[in-house]
């Protein structure tokens, strides 16, 4: 046993594998910790793969670059959480198989649980904030209703995460993670809001306010609502590992409330 205490770096650099780390660290000039050339992480040559992507240095880059990187991170999480769960025949069949498998063997070390842990580890509240603002802006048309919708969205996210926390007390997921995951899963509702409140009215103006065009647009609104509701519900139930009526029904109720507001307002 040595006296060496591992530094609290987010990447968890593996010092045990590098016996010559002390030599490397001794060459580092620590007079200017913000200097890129003297970066301690760069002094560790072999384990650069282990350095997490969360090792961020926002002080030495411009704002646009930071924003772009954040957007890419949000998009990469959406790729895991929301995009693959669009309701399709293939997904519905695979979902039923997954549920049967998970019911038969619900071990904490299953691959499904591991993927949830991966997503939970990289959760953030930036994406939910962006989605809630976009949703509120679209539905309220930037009028006085914005603040009410903004608060309502966060209350619904809180209710959903509280519900998941209460119905699954033995899962090692905290409230903030549930809020983040729920926030990501309202992305389809944002799409619903954009389509119902911006795209369809523009289409209606282009076509003209004829009776048949209003009928079609109304029907399309209802279809979009149902599709986005199913999309959100599938995403949130798969990502948070929610199963059964008891766990899924309240989530569906909250998402339906959001979707209906976007359709009717």
Partner 1 sequence: MSNPKYGALNGVDDDLDGVDDFLDEPNPFDDTQNGTSNSNATVAPDLDTKSMATAVLPDYSEISGIQQEPGNEPYGNVNNGSSVNVNRTTTERGELPPGLINYYSKFFQLSTETFKGRFLRSLKINQLIFESESYNPESRELFGAIWITCTIVLVKFIFPGLINLMHYGIIKGEKISESVPTNDRDKIYWNLIHSIWLFGIYSFVVPFIVLQIILKDDTNGEENGLPQSEPTGDAGGRHMTINANAKNLIGLITVYGYGNSIWLFILPILDITNSLATRFKTAIAVEWAIIALAYVKTAQYMNMQICNRGNGHVRLPFTMIFVLGFHIIFSVLLMFTLY
Chain positions contacting partner 1, by CB under 8 A: 1, 3, 103, 106, 108, 162-163, 165-172, 175, 209-212, 214-215, 218-219, 222, 243-247, 249-250, 253, 256-257, 260, 263-264
How many Å apart are CA 199 and CA 262, to the nearest integer? 13
Q: Which two tokens mark 215? A: 């009928």
Contact between 251 and 234 under an 8 Å Cβ cutoff? The reply is: no
- In terms of CB distance, is 75 or 172 closer to partner 1? 172
Q: Which two tokens mark 237? A: 């139930």
Q: Cβ of residue 24: shortest distance to partner 1, in angstroms?
A: 24
- In terms of CB distance, is 56 or 215 closer to partner 1? 215
Q: Cβ of residue 126: shortest distance to partner 1, in angstroms?
A: 25
- In terms of CB distance, is 38 or 110 closer to partner 1? 110
How many Å apart are CA 10 and CA 136, to the nearest integer? 35
Q: Cβ of residue 253: shortest distance to partner 1, in angstroms?
A: 6
Query: Strand, coil or helix: what is 93?
Result: helix
How many Å apart are CA 130 and CA 135, to the nearest integer? 9
How many Å apart are CA 229 and CA 235, to the nearest integer? 10
How many Å apart are CA 134 and CA 140, to the nearest integer? 10
- In terms of CB distance, is 44 or 197 closer to partner 1? 197
Cα 264 to Cα 136, 142, 149, 162: the distances in Å are 14, 16, 13, 27
Q: Cβ of residue 59: shortest distance to partner 1, in angstroms?
A: 36
The residue count of the chain comes to 265
- In terms of CB distance, is 13 or 263 closer to partner 1? 263
Q: Cβ of residue 108: shortest distance to partner 1, in angstroms?
A: 7
Q: Which two tokens mark 49? A: 């793969």
- In terms of CB distance, is 44 or 153 closer to partner 1? 153
How many Å apart are CA 186 and CA 157, to the nearest integer? 9
Q: Cβ of residue 110: shortest distance to partner 1, in angstroms?
A: 12
Q: Cβ of residue 41: shortest distance to partner 1, in angstroms?
A: 29
- In terms of CB distance, is 7 or 108 closer to partner 1? 108
- In terms of CB distance, is 13 or 221 closer to partner 1? 221
Closest CA to 192 of 134, 237, 146, 127: 134
Q: Cβ of residue 134: shortest distance to partner 1, in angstroms?
A: 22
Closest CA to 78 of 155, 224, 227, 188: 188
Helical (H) or strand (E) element with 154: helix 145-167
């Amino acid at each position: 046993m040595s006296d060496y205490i591992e530094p609290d770096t987010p990447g968890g650099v593996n010092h045990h594998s590098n016996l010559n780390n002390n030599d490397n660290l001794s060459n580092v000039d620590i007079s200017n910790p913000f200097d890129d050339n003297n970066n301690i992480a760069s002094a560790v040559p072999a384990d650069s793969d282990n350095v997490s992507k969360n090792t961020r240095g926002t002080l030495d880059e411009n704002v646009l670059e930071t924003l772009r990187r954040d957007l890419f991170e949000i998009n990469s999480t959406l790729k895991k959480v929301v995009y693959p769960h669009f309701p399709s025949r293939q997904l519905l069949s695979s979902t039923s198989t997954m549920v049967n498998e998970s019911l038969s063997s619900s071990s904490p070390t299953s691959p499904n649980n591991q993927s949830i842990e991966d997503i939970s580890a990289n959760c953030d509240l930036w994406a939910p904030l962006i989605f809630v603002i976009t949703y509120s802006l679209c539905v309220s048309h930037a009028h006085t209703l914005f603040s009410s919708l903004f608060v309502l969205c966060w209350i619904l996210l809180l209710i959903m995460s509280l519900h998941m926390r209460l119905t699954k007390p033995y899962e090692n997921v905290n409230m903030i993670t549930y809020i983040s995951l729920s926030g990501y899963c309202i992305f389809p509702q944002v799409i619903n809001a954009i389509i119902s409140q911006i795209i369809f009215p523009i289409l209606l103006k282009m076509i003209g306010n004829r009776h048949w065009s209003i009928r079609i647009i109304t029907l399309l609104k209802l279809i979009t609502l149902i599709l986005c509701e199913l999309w959100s519900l599938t995403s949130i139930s798969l990502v948070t590992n929610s199963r059964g009526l008891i766990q899924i029904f309240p989530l569906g109720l909250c998402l339906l409330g959001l979707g209906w507001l976007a359709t009717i307002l």
